[in-house]
């Protein structure tokens, strides 16, 4: 799949956040929000760093965006398929498009999102697949905690 420049930019911002989380000893899941070709917010999973049950990458990016009345033109990028909590938040705020870097390590809720009218694209990005695979192998207990196992 050939990515356009806007998709490359949104993905790069999400991957940079995932790397930041990994460097901090956390779970390497990052997310970004784009409006047109501008990254308006980004965040990474901070469950370990902040002792939070809900600060997943998507939630951190939405939180970083601050108050916003309308998400109708926003695209959310995430390095890993969203869990049900994050998918529900995407639906609740009316985010119409989600670009998922990978869903090999966690097959999230793409069908739920699609059933609610969200356009979902899965990129199967090799870098994101390998980053998450390596993390899960090295830290299975943190991964199990993150996904609720």
User: What residues are paired with 77 via a beta bridge?
Assistant: 32, 99
Q: Which two tokens stand for residue 48?
A: 């370990």
Q: In degrees rounded to 5, what are phi and psi of residue 39? A: -75, 120
Q: Does the annotation mark 58 as catalytic?
A: yes
Residue 121's contacts (CB-CB under 8 Å, 6 or more residues apart) are 97, 98, 99, 100
Distances (CA, A) of 117 to 14, 25, 91, 110, 111: 23, 35, 9, 11, 10
Q: Which of 17, 58, 102, 110 is catalytic?
A: 58
- Neighbour count for residue 95 (Cβ, 10 Å): 21
Catalytic residue IDs: 58
């Amino acid at each position: 799949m050939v990515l356009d420049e806007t998709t490359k930019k949104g993905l790069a911002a999400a991957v940079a956040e995932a790397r930041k989380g990994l460097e901090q000893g956390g779970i390497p899941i990052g997310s970004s929000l784009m409006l047109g070709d501008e990254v308006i917010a980004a965040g990474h999973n901070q469950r370990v760093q902040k002792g939070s049950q809900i600060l997943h990458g998507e939630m951190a990016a939405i939180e970083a965006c601050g108050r916003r009345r309308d998400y109708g033109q926003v695209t959310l990028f995430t390095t890993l398929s969203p869990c049900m909590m994050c998918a529900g938040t995407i639906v609740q705020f009316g985010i119409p498009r989600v670009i998922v870097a990978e869903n090999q390590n966690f097959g999230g809720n793409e069908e739920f999102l699609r059933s609610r009218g969200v356009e979902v694209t899965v990129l199967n990005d090799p870098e994101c697949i390998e980053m998450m695979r390596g993390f899960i192998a090295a830290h299975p207990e943190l991964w199990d905690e993150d996904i609720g196992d």
